Structure 1
């Protein structure tokens, strides 16, 4: 079972799941997926937050990848409520 933090939204789980399935992605690509249902700008904002907490890494040109912490969270092995921002 995933242990999400108070700062997380449902979009964060969808972003992390997308990155786990696709290895990398941009907010623009994610916004085109029917199941995402969030705007590109909102997904971009959420990616920035996820990066602050070390769950994704920005490679440049809007491309993000899942980090080990992001994978641990998806597998239920990380309580994101215990993470500090600016990781």
Structure 2
């Protein structure tokens, strides 16, 4: 289970999933793919926010790659709000990790 942060929106998960699957991504390619149904401009804005929060790295020329933190978020290993491991949260909710 993923624990998103208050600052996150649905597009963020889709962007991270796309970039992990493709190895890297550009906002235009993501918008053109049809897999992320938002404008290139909005995807670009969200990519910049994901860079600020250390979930993506910007390589230049509009190319983004996922960071270790982004991978851990997608795998449900961290709570994006606190960036702490989720094992404690899962135990509190009666879910085994």
TM-score by length of 2: 0.83
Q: Please, which runs of 5 or more residues in structure 2 have no aligned partner?
A: 84-97
Query: What is the alpha-carbon root mean square deviation over aligned residues?
Result: 0.7
The offset of 1:54, in angstroms, is: 0.3
Q: Any idea what the Cα deviations from partners look like across 1:20-75, whole Å, max 9, x if unmatched?
A: 10000100000012221100000000000000000000000000000000000000
C-alpha separation in 1, matches of 2:18 and 2:64: 10
What is the 5 A alignment of 1:59-78?
59-78=59-78
C-alpha separation in 2, matches of 1:47 and 1:34: 17
TM-score by length of 1: 0.92
Q: Which consecutive aligned stretches of 4+ in structure 1 deviate over 2 angstroms post-superposition?
A: none
Q: Please, which runs of 5 or more residues in structure 1 have no aligned partner?
A: none
Q: Secondary structure at the match of 1:72?
A: helix
